[in-house]
Chains A and B, each alone.
Chain A
Amino acid sequence: MLLALDLALILEKLVLIVIVVMASLVIAMYVTFAERKVAAILQDRRGPNRAGPFGILQPVADGLKLFFKEEIIPEFSSKFLFILGPSMAMLTAIMTGAVVPWGDHIDFFGRTVSLQIADVNVGILYVFGVVSMGVYGIMIGSWASNNKYSLLGGLRAASQIISYELAMGISLIALLMVTGTLSLKEMVLQQQQGWWNFCYQPLGFLIFLICAFAECNRTPFDLPEAENELIGGYHTEYSSMKLGFYLFSEYINMFVSSVIMSTLFFGGYDLIPFYDESAWGLSANWMAIIGLGALMAKVVFFLFLFMWVRWTIPRFRYDQLMNLGWRILIPLALVNMLVTGAVILLKQNNWHF
């Protein structure tokens, strides 16, 4: 046989991939709507309320508008790279969902289906690799626009993302020392049995959260698209759905980083800490649904935090941004790593020096 593969397994994974991708897209769509509503509440307005009841069709209308807008490709730009930019941004935003455990497992006609696309043993490093790829979408697009404001925005994005990736990585090392595994699934299982990682790594979580804001180009770190300095930043020359891709990938990134934060620090699909939910004696399918609900509740909280910060805190200046990244977050993360390592060593030695 040419390709001896388990067809059912491939089918199962394909279905899972389609569901995860579609779900991230739809959730990101409604995150744009939620952002406008939250902004409206914080600014004492009503927000979008014309399309459908309570305006819930607004994201569909926005999408349609972007599709029907005229598409302009600048004459002196590299056409292939100009299209590659937003595509890369979208691709890297969606790819992270592959290693996230969305729930434990479900029984489907006698078949145990794991609710995780791939349980790779370098899970968290995979996430990190995809995040580090995310900068290319912005850089390629900004360069291909052949516009100096776009290029400046792209360069800002690149330097910002690289700077904050360091602190993010170091804060993750401390977490990995605590958990002793790179697989996201195993991390969740550990947290189900004991404390959530947030209890062990509060400072690590804070650093990770700040870096996640910076990696997503969210306010107060949205210098790459600072409209009062750079017109529109890296997507100045973009129009129609390619602009839509850039804006949309930001929301998918927000969603994905909320999922990652919940999984790493807040127990993923674990509903109640210090409590064994399997004592309820529910079937696996119900447990999976409850777990998914718990994960989504945490995600919604983080998404709200993203929006809350955006409409509360003004944008940093560029030197403040670099100072925060290099002079505060990286030393803090290093100290956190050293202290964590020392405590773990002490614990292994039964608390004797």
Chain B
Amino acid sequence: MSITEILFWFLTAMALGSAIMVITSRSPVHSVLWLIVTFFAISGHYIMMNAQFLAIVNIIVYAGAIMVLFLFVVMLMNLNAESEPQKNRMLQFAGLLAGGCLFLVILASLMKATETSSMVQLGSGNEGLIKNLGKALFNDYVIPFEISSVLFLSAMIGAVLIGKKEKAEHDGN
């Protein structure tokens, strides 16, 4: 095994293990922390594919900003392992069934996919380097890029609007 393969398997085990911990741990705060570990493992995979920009942005945006807000909300709502509602057996069984069906569908579609056995080329390719990525985004994919930025803007304005509205009602009372 070469060092890239060792790293690949290590990161894969880390990503899957921490992802399982996200859904199995009782305390929501622990779940959030495990999710951060998952993001780090995925960033490691990006680096192995030579996509350094994507890796670091994944850490800055997801692990560094979005998960902080998640943690923020979970801590403010004071969710603990004790206050976590226990679901009844029937619901758990239904969830298992639904999840299993989804898994089957994904598995079936993966089996049908043309390239099943080839692994991603590790440590090669330079499309993920920031220079090439910027050129691709602003030349070849400029319209999708701009449309998605408008989408973000509208989401942001929506959030501000919701915040404002509640405040106005509160002042009215």
Contacts and interface: CB of A to CB of B under 8 A. Distances in A.
Contact of B64 (A3, A5, A132, A140): A132
18 contacts: A3-B3, A4-B2, A5-B3, A78-B29, A122-B53, A126-B56, A129-B60, A132-B59, A132-B63, A132-B68, A133-B63, A136-B71, A139-B72, A139-B75, A143-B29, A143-B75, A154-B75, A158-B72
Contact of A151 (B52, B56, B75): B75
Interface in B64-85: 64-65, 68-69, 71-72, 75-76
Interface in B1-59: 1-3, 27, 29, 33, 36, 52-53, 56-57, 59
Contact of B130 (A122, A136, A155): A122
Contacts of A182: 130
B155 interface: no
A136 B68 contact: yes
B160 to A, nearest CB: 11
Contacts of B56: 122, 125-126, 128-129
Contacts of A321: none
B153 interface: no
Interface residues of B, number: 24
Contact of B36 (A125, A129, A136): A136
Contacts of A2: 1
B68 A158 contact: yes
Interface residues of A, number: 28
A334 interface: no
Interface in A155-180: 155, 158-159, 162, 165
Nearest to A176: B130
B59 A129 contact: yes
A120 interface: yes
Contact of B76 (A3, A128, A155, A162): A155
B159 to A, nearest CB: 14
Interface of A: 2-5, 78, 81, 120-122, 125-126, 128-129, 132-133, 135-136, 139-140, 143, 151, 154-155, 158-159, 162, 165, 182
B60 A128 contact: yes
B76 to A, nearest CB: 7
B129 interface: yes
Nearest to A161: B68
Contacts of B129: 121
Nearest to B75: A143
Contacts of B72: 139, 155, 158-159
B52 A121 contact: yes
A143 B75 CA distance: 7
Nearest to A140: B33
Most A-side CB within 10 Å, residue of B33, B56, B76 = B56
A81 B29 CA distance: 10
B149 to A, nearest CB: 15
A151 B72 CA distance: 10
Nearest to A166: B65
Contact of B65 (A120, A125, A132): A132
A341 B66 CA distance: 28
Given A132-B59, A140-B33, A162-B68, A155 B52 contact: no
Contacts of B60: 125, 128-129, 132
Nearest to A120: B52
B35 to A, nearest CB: 12
Nearest to A80: B30
Nearest to B52: A122
Contacts of A129: 56, 59-60, 64
A81 B71 CA distance: 13
Nearest to B74: A143
Nearest 6 interchain pairs by C-beta:
A132-B64, A129-B59, A125-B56, A122-B52, A129-B60, A122-B56
